């Protein structure tokens, strides 16, 4: 049965690309979409930044037709500010608005935003209601199990947020206290999915980094779809590999060196198109090691890639990598 968020049809078991700060920008989203991501989100955007026209926040509103369906994710600690930010974000014409109640990092959570709202569910509900009432678009939420092991309150959160109108909920299987450490625990996600009161799609997030996990957890935890984050960095093929396995029960071969070079080159070109050569080249530097993880004796090439300053020279090194390592098999 197809999963729907409002009128958005995501197919039978969608794979979502998680919003990741300084990662899930349009160039990165392009290569993930090429490889089968069903739904994507912008990097999270500060509501305060949107309202005061901060350039970095406004740039994050950039979305492109080929990315659809796509959600703009916002966060903040002030209800009125979130209401205004929702109106601004809606004008950028995404397919939905997503609220971040999951970010655990200090400069977000300690300012009363992100996962911090898990300590004040009444305020979270009020804020969500304000966002829902401020847009014609479907509103979704991403959150965690709770603030810490003693306050795993996401079961209540799911019911109350559904009651004020959210259309889907993504749950990361860790508490805020865990940050990204330890193993994600999806058992509470399954309990929420089994709650007869819950009618909206429930997506699981956290630690899905292989076909095996995606297939096993789909069955074990009964979620409507899976959101993938860190495992897609440098490996956008994870979406197509999981989908192929779901469809056929077979494993696709790992991407060749030529495919890695092609994806990396596409990512670079899109980065330069979007941000200009200087910034596009600079911001691409964080991705090279990920695209070529597992290649023996790669350090020399990585050093060259992160020091070159123009796209022609970088493309030349990428071509060199393709030729030198074409027979190398990588078990990613």
For residue 6, give the nearest of 122, 135, 92 by alpha carbon.
135
Helix (H) or strand (E) holding 5: strand 4-5
For residue 65, give the nearest of 97, 95, 38 by alpha carbon.
95
Distance of CA 276 to the CA centre of its chain: 24
Which ranges constitute the DSSP H helices of 164-236? Answer: 187-194, 211-221
Task: Quote the CA–CA distance of 157 and 162 in Å, as a whole number.
Answer: 8
Q: Would you state the structure tokens that stand for residue 151, as one six-digit string? A: 């306050």
Residue 20, Cβ density class (10 Å: 0-12 exposed, 13-18 middle, ≥19 buried): middle
Q: Is the dihedral of CA 192, 119, 180, 231 positive or negative?
A: positive
Say how many C-beta atoms besides its own lie within 10 A of residue 51's C-beta.
18
Indicate which residue of 32, 103, 110, 264 is catalytic: 103
CB 79 within 8 A of CB 127: yes
CB 245 within 8 A of CB 232: no
103 labelled catalytic: yes
CB 114 within 8 A of CB 101: yes
Q: Active-site positions?
A: 103
């Amino acid at each position: 049965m197809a999963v729907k968020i409002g009128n958005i049809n995501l197919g039978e078991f969608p794979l979502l690309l998680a919003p990741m700060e300084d990662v899930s920008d349009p160039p990165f989203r392009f290569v993930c979409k090429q490889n089968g991501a069903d739904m994507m989100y912008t990097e999270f955007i500060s509501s305060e930044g949107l309202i005061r026209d901060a350039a970095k926040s406004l740039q994050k509103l950039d979305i492109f037709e080929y990315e659809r369906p796509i959600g703009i994710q916002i966060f903040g600690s002030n209800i009125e500010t979130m209401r205004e930010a929702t109106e601004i974000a809606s004008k950028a014409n995404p397919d939905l608005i997503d609220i971040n109640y999951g970010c655990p990092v200090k400069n977000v959570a300690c300012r009363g935003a992100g996962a911090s709202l898990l300590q004040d569910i009444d305020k979270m509900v009020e804020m969500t209601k304000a966002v829902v009432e401020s847009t014609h678009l479907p509103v979704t939420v991403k959150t965690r199990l709770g603030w810490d092991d003693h306050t795993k309150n996401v079961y209540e959160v799911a019911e109350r947020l559904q009651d004020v109108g959210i259309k889907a909920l993504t749950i990361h299987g860790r508490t805020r206290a865990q940050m990204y450490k330890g193993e994600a625990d999806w058992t509470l996600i399954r309990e929420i999915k089994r709650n007869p009161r819950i009618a909206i799609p429930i997506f699981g997030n956290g630690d899905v980094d292989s076909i095996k996990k995606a297939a096993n957890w789909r069955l074990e935890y009964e979620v409507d779809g899976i959101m993938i984050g860190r495992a897609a960095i440098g490996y956008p093929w994870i979406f197509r590999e999981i989908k192929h396995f779901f469809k056929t029960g077979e494993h696709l071969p790992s991407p060749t060196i030529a495919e890695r070079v092609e994806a990396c080159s596409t990512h670079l070109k899109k980065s330069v198109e979007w941000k200009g050569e200087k910034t596009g080249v600079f911001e691409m530097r964080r991705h090279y090691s990920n695209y070529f993880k597992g290649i023996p004796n790669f350090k020399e090439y990585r050093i060259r890639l992160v020091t070159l300053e123009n796209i022609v020279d970088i493309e030349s090194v990428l071509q060199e990598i393709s030729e030198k390592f074409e027979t190398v098999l990588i078990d990613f």
